C-alpha cells in the first residue's frame, strides 16, 4: 500500500476528490483487496467520529437554565415605514412645488386646462379633469379645499390626508394654472395621479 494510495483514500473518505478522481479510486478498489481493507478501517474511523459528533455532550441538561434572548423591538420597523411615507410625501410636495414654480406665474390664470393654453401638452403636468379633483376622497380624514380655485397670487397650502391603508393623498394647486392636482403616495415611492376613487 503506497502512501499516495493511502492519501487518496483519506481524500475519498473526507469528500475531497472531484468526481473523476473518485471514480478512479472506486475502480482501483474493485481490484485491490488491501485497498478495500484500508478503506474499511477509514470508514470505521469516520463512523465512530460521527457517533461522537451526534451524541449529546455531558452536562446537556444544564441548558434548561438558559433563557431565550429577546428579539430586537419591532417598533423600529414601524417607525422606519412611517418615516418612508413621510419622506415620500415630502418628495411629492417638493416635486409639485417645483413643477408649479418652474412653469412660471402668468398674470392671467385659466382655471381649466385648455388646448389653447398649451398647459395640457406640458409633459411635466398631466392634469386630471378639474371637476373630478373637487370630489372628496373616500376615507379621507380631512375635507379638500373649496371648489373655487384661489387666485394664482395666493399660494394654497397642500392638503395631506393619510388613509387607513397607509397611503397618503396630497392635493395641491398649481400656481401657474390654478389647476388642482391629486397625488397618491402608496409607500412604495410610486406616484399615481388619480381622478377616481382610491381603493
Triad 19, 23, 24: Cα angle to 5°: 120
Min separation Cβ 25 and another protein, Å: 14
Q: Which of 2, 19, 58, 148 binds another protein (CB under 8 A)?
A: 58
Min separation Cβ 6 and another protein, Å: 8
Residue among 15 and 153 whose Cβ is closer to another protein: 15
Task: Please give the C-alpha separations between residue 86 and each of 48, 82, 166, in angstroms, as whole numbers.
Answer: 61, 6, 11
36: contact with another protein by CB under 8 A: no
Interatomic CA distance for residues 123 and 126, integer angstroms: 7
Question: Candidates 13-21, 95-103, 112-120, 172-180 — which segment interacts with another protein by CB under 8 A?
Answer: 13-21
Neighbours of 38 (CB within 10 A): 17
Min separation Cβ 180 and another protein, Å: 40
> Could you tell me the three cell numbers for 47?
463512523
Question: Candidates 25-33, 56-64, 155-163, 182-190 — which segment interacts with another protein by CB under 8 A?
Answer: 56-64
Residue among 46 and 141 whose Cβ is closer to another protein: 46
Give SS3 for 4: helix
Q: Which of 19, 56, 123, 138 binds another protein (CB under 8 A)?
A: 56
How many amino acids of this chain bind another protein (CB under 8 A)?
35
Half-sphere CA count of 122, side-chain side, radius 13 A: 19
Q: Which of 5, 10, 187, 195 binds another protein (CB under 8 A)?
A: 10
Question: Candidates 21-29, 59-67, 130-138, 171-179 — which segment interacts with another protein by CB under 8 A?
Answer: 59-67
Half-sphere CA count of 157, side-chain side, radius 13 A: 4
Min separation Cβ 190 and another protein, Å: 24
Q: Which long-range contacts (CB under 8 A, 24 or more apart) does 115-124 make?
A: 117/177, 119/176, 119/177, 119/179, 124/99
Half-sphere CA count of 75, side-chain side, radius 13 A: 0
Interatomic CA distance for residues 17 and 129, integer angstroms: 72
Footprint on this chain of another protein (rule: CB under 8 A)? 7, 10, 13-16, 41-42, 44-46, 48-60, 62-63, 65-66, 68-72, 74, 77
Amino acid at each position: 500500500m503506497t502512501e499516495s494510495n493511502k492519501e487518496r483514500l483519506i481524500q475519498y473518505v473526507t469528500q475531497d476528490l472531484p468526481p473523476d478522481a473518485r471514480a478512479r479510486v472506486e475502480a482501483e478498489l474493485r481490484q485491490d483487496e488491501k485497498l478495500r481493507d484500508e478503506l474499511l478501517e477509514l470508514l470505521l474511523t469516520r463512523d465512530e467520529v460521527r457517533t461522537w459528533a451526534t451524541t449529546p455532550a455531558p452536562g446537556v441538561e444544564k441548558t434548561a437554565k438558559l433563557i431565550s434572548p429577546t428579539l430586537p423591538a419591532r417598533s423600529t420597523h414601524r417607525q422606519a415605514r412611517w418615516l418612508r411615507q413621510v419622506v415620500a410625501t415630502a418628495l411629492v410636495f417638493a416635486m409639485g412645488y417645483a413643477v408649479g414654480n418652474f412653469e412660471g406665474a402668468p398674470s392671467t390664470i385659466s382655471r381649466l386646462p385648455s388646448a389653447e393654453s398649451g398647459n395640457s401638452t406640458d409633459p411635466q403636468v398631466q392634469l386630471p379633469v378639474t371637476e373630478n379633483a373637487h370630489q372628496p376622497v373616500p376615507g379621507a380624514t380631512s375635507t379638500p379645499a373649496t371648489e373655487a380655485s384661489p387666485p394664482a397670487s395666493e399660494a394654497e397650502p397642500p392638503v395631506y390626508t393619510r388613509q387607513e391603508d397607509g397611503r397618503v393623498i396630497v392635493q395641491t394647486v398649481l400656481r401657474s394654472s390654478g389647476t388642482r392636482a391629486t397625488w397618491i403616495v402608496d409607500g412604495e415611492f410610486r406616484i399615481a395621479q388619480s381622478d377616481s376613487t382610491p381603493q
